[in-house]
Structure 1
Amino acid sequence: MINKRRYRLLFLYYCGISRQMIKRILQHDPTMSLIYYLTPSEMHQLLSISMEKAVRLYKQLHQRNIVKQIFSDEKEFHILTIFDDKYPTQLREIPDPPLVLFAIGNLNLLRNHRTISVIGTRHPSEEAHQKIDHIVRPLILNGWVIVSGMAIGIDSMAHIATLTEKGKTIAVLGSGLNHIYPKRNQTLFHSIAKHGLVVTEYLPETQPKPYQFPERNRIISGLSYATLVIEAKEKSGTLITVDQALDQGREVYAVPGSPHLPETIGCHKMIQEGAKLVKDVSDIDMDWEEFGREWLQP
């Protein structure tokens, strides 16, 4: 039986309507069945938006070939809406959950496994490989699912280490599945899609744009029991993910390093501000033994 509410949400999403506007529509029209029959003037009054936005919304809602595109994409990708049973439970809990996820690979990795996001600078120090070997590799061998953003630097190192050890990894993209970024990671993308899972909230044809990467970071932290920062400079985009993890009530861990390395300054600052210092994998495992059962609850 067709889930009408699911496809109505997908239709709104494919029309290019923002997350915020869709949520506003849901408040006034929970079944999403009435909005298509409203005039721009009625939308203006119901949603408390300007006439300019109402006219634009009306045009978006009356595009052709949207349904055809949805069915075409469903043949190529997994598409999960927030109304679907397979939508990851842990993402429902975050302040601004994605309404739709597009994925390639093993959807079972979205279940409440032991998941940890491993993040850090795009320009790591020479010590970074040792930190990955010392802390991340044991996590992989212990069955943790490694979540990261497939960026160059620490992200790629974490994914590659997981694939090398035949572990489980999830990559969260800041672009659509038909526009892989960075392009140099095409091979890595295909490996993760084959042996792990690649997810994004962006429509398949969405090109990478700068604002989308900070936005996707809430999904990286949201999918994870905890966030582990391997290296970060003092002013690093990594800190955005850390802030989101804290807002989501997730644990945050940071790896210390030489005080002479700029790549460790951000980690030291996090530790000063309350992140848990990780000297080896036992620091994470002990917390998991104490708090992990709660994470595994459906």
Structure 2
Amino acid sequence: MNEQSLQHLLALHYVYPLTFNVYKKLIQSIESIDNLSTISPTKLANILQTSLKKSETILQNYLKMLQVDLLSAYEAESIKTVPYNDKYYPKSLFELVDPPTVLYAKGDVTLLTKERKIAIVGSRNATNYSSMALDFIIPPLVEQNFVIVSGLAKGADSLAHTSTIHYGGKTIGVLGNGFFHVYPRENRSLTEEMVKNHLLITEYPPYVGPKKWQFPMRNRIISGISEAIVVTEAALSSGTLITTDHALEHGKDIFVVPGPIHSELSKGTNQLLKEGAIPIWNGYQIVEERKLFLGKY
């Protein structure tokens, strides 16, 4: 993709953050993103299966954004763009039902190319039990150069990132919002540290604020770029189980920390164990499982 086409893609994605499947459908109809400015609102409405009024608004805003040098604007904010055909775009994301068309990144984008990536997720209300578990799980993974992936949310996600940093590892945070927003706010210092020495990615343009429905969407990317999932604590209704569902759909291992039977935050994890997840209590078990049974490493 040449720079002009990339600018056109970024302009469209800014006003209408479409997923890759929708983008493919659009390109199949208009042949090139460079042709978007010449099609009628009616044709665009038919392609996107949206109202004529909405397609008119998309085209109007798209034409306005074409006048903005988005690449330079993003560069000024230290935001790297990783479109679907970029060398840094994780090819494993194409296995998702709806891959992102563009990823926006801050930090060390080369971490996306690392083969060994493990997601660690759990409850936003994680207790000290998760923290203690991570002290046993993360050091062996760091020792084996695994990159730890999580969602930079409160609770288990934040613990996974901070523990990885503490033990000298590398970590990737997948956001459910754009970079002009820090969410949750209490993670501002963690966010700054990850931008400086690790990596943050999101499929949302910088202006997009956090909305509840975006976080389940974010979970598919956490699973998509990781080769396996570790769950520390989770209630039966936890959003963590959305991440494990995505992972199971793609045949990935689910490693689970067994929890105390009296804890509400063990009901989800213990249910996963009942359904066949792999129980673990230290990171060496993950390394050995990948090595012995899957022929890796």
| TM-score, with length taken from structure 2 | 0.91
Percent of aligned pairs with the same residue?
35
Give 2:188's aligned residue: 186
Does the C-alpha gap of structure 1 residues 237 and 49 become closer, same or farther in structure 2, counting only changes over 3 Å? closer
What pairs up with 1:136-147 in 2 under 5 angstroms?
Answer: 136-147=138-149
Instruction: Count residues in correspondence.
Output: 294
Deviation at 1:56, TM superposition (A): 3.0
Give 2:27's aligned residue: 26
Q: How far apart are the structure 2 equivalents of 1:4 and 1:33?
A: 8
Q: Tell me the amino acid that sits aligned with residue 108 of structure 2.
A: N
Q: How far apart are the structure 2 equivalents of 1:272 and 1:232?
A: 14
1:123 aligns with 2:125: yes
What pairs up with 1:147-158 in 2 under 5 angstroms?
Answer: 147-158=149-160
CA contact (8 A) 1:174 1:202 kept: yes
Q: Tell me the amino acid that sits aligned with residue 70 of structure 2.
A: Q
2:212 aligned to 192, 198, 210, which one? 210
Q: How far apart are the structure 2 equivalents of 1:285 and 1:45?
A: 50
- CA deviation vs aligned residue, 1:27-82 (integer Å, no higher than 9, x gap): 31242122211122333455554433432333233224653234211332111100
- CA deviation vs aligned residue, 1:78-115 (integer Å, no higher than 9, x gap): 11100212212222332221111111111111113211
Give 1:73's aligned residue: 74
Does the C-alpha gap of structure 1 residues 46 and 69 become closer, same or farther in structure 2, counting only changes over 3 Å? closer
Give 1:291's aligned residue: 294
- CA deviation vs aligned residue, 1:223-270 (integer Å, no higher than 9, x gap): 101010011011101111111112233221111021111111100101
Q: Tell me the amino acid that sits aligned with residue 71 of structure 1.
A: S
Gaps of 5+ in 1: none
Deviation at 1:117, TM superposition (A): 0.4
Does the C-alpha gap of structure 1 residues 146 and 17 become closer, same or farther in structure 2, counting only changes over 3 Å? closer
Does the C-alpha gap of structure 1 residues 152 and 59 become closer, same or farther in structure 2, counting only changes over 3 Å? same
Q: How far apart are the structure 2 equivalents of 1:71 and 1:249?
A: 40
Moved more, 97-106 or 6-15: 6-15
What pairs up with 1:1-298 in 2 under 5 angstroms?
Answer: 2-19=2-19, 21-45=22-46, 49-64=50-65, 67-75=68-76, 76-289=78-291, 290-291=293-294, 293=296
Secondary structure of 1:33 counterpart: helix
Q: How far apart are the structure 2 equivalents of 1:118 and 1:253?
A: 9
Q: How far apart are the structure 2 equivalents of 1:104 and 1:47?
A: 30
Q: How far apart are the structure 1 equivalents of 2:17 and 2:286?
A: 40
Q: Tell me the amino acid that sits aligned with residue 24 of structure 1.
A: K
Does the C-alpha gap of structure 1 residues 234 and 180 become closer, same or farther in structure 2, counting only changes over 3 Å? same
Q: How far apart are the structure 2 equivalents of 1:287 and 1:12?
A: 44
Q: Tell me the amino acid that sits aligned with residue 222 of structure 2.
A: I
| TM-score, with length taken from structure 1 | 0.90
CA contact (8 A) 1:159 1:169 kept: yes
Q: How far apart are the structure 2 equivalents of 1:172 and 1:60?
A: 27
Moved more, 245-254 or 165-174: 245-254
Q: How far apart are the structure 2 equivalents of 1:51 and 1:2?
A: 30
Q: Tell me the amino acid that sits aligned with residue 59 of structure 1.
A: Q
Q: How far apart are the structure 1 equivalents of 2:86 and 2:178?
A: 20
Deviation at 1:131, TM superposition (A): 0.8
Q: How far apart are the structure 2 equivalents of 1:22 and 1:14?
A: 13
Gaps of 5+ in 2: none
Moved more, 41-50 or 238-247: 41-50
